[in-house]
Amino acid sequence: MAQLYLTRKWIQNQQNEALANAAAAASNSIVPALGHFRRVSSTRSGSVLSNYLNDQDVEDLEMLLEAYFMQLDGTRNKILSVREYIDDTEDYVNIQLDNQRNELIQLQLTLTIASFAVAVETALAGIFGMNIPCTLYNTNGIFGEVVGIMTAFSVVLFFLVFAYARWKKLLGS
């Protein structure tokens, strides 16, 4: 735990550099004598060996670590809440897209029903438009009646299929 006391380490490094610079300048020696400065070291078993390390320093370090852990926990909680917010927003967007997709499918079904009704009328007109000899061709005014009956039949067919689609709840109200 004493190795985590970064301020002390920084001060020791500053002192060691200053001493090394002073000793190198004074004696032109390559290896300065650093024996009288305090050092924080640990043995292989992990116990702290220091003549100058006291309980107050450890308590200060523990308080610092606790503050950092609290900050990390707060940051983690913020990240989790933002993640939940993003998930909720994504769900909302997907719901809106599904709603729009359903409306487009209903419009497509309505247009398909209308095209079916028009196709039936076109098929009937094609049957009557063939060059087959028929006595109805010689009757005056029959063309308007046949076209009116076919159009009325197609409109009724459209509303019947549309009502069936609503009854089966394929189309919303």
Q: Is the per-residue pLDDT at 5 higher than 70?
A: no
pLDDT of res. 35: 47
Provide DSSP, 64-107: HHHHHHHHHHHHHHHHHHHHHHHHHHHHHHHHHHHHHHHHHHHH
The answer to whether the beta carbons of residues 20 and 31 sit under 8 Å apart is no
What Cα–Cα distance (Å) separates residue 105 from each residue in 98, 99, 108?
A: 10, 10, 5
pLDDT digits (tens, 9 = 90+) for 86-141: 999 999 999 999 999 999 999 999 999 999 999 999 998 888 777 777 777 777 87
pLDDT score, position 70: 94
What pLDDT does residue 156 have? 95
Dig out the tokens for 24 from the structure: 């190198």
pLDDT in tens, 16-69: 888 888 777 666 545 444 444 444 444 434 444 444 455 666 777 788 889 999
pLDDT band of 77, cuts 50, 70, 90: very high
User: Vertex 153, ends 152 and 154: CA angle to 5°?
Assistant: 90
Q: What is the pLDDT of residue 39?
A: 46
Please report which confidence band the pLDDT of residue 4 belongs to, taking 50, 70 and 90 as the band edges.
low
Q: What is the pLDDT of residue 153?
A: 93
Tokens of 1: 């735990």
CA count, 13 A, side-chain hemisphere, 152: 6
pLDDT at 54: 59
Q: What is the pLDDT of residue 117?
A: 94
H helix or E strand, kind and range, residue 41: strand 41-42
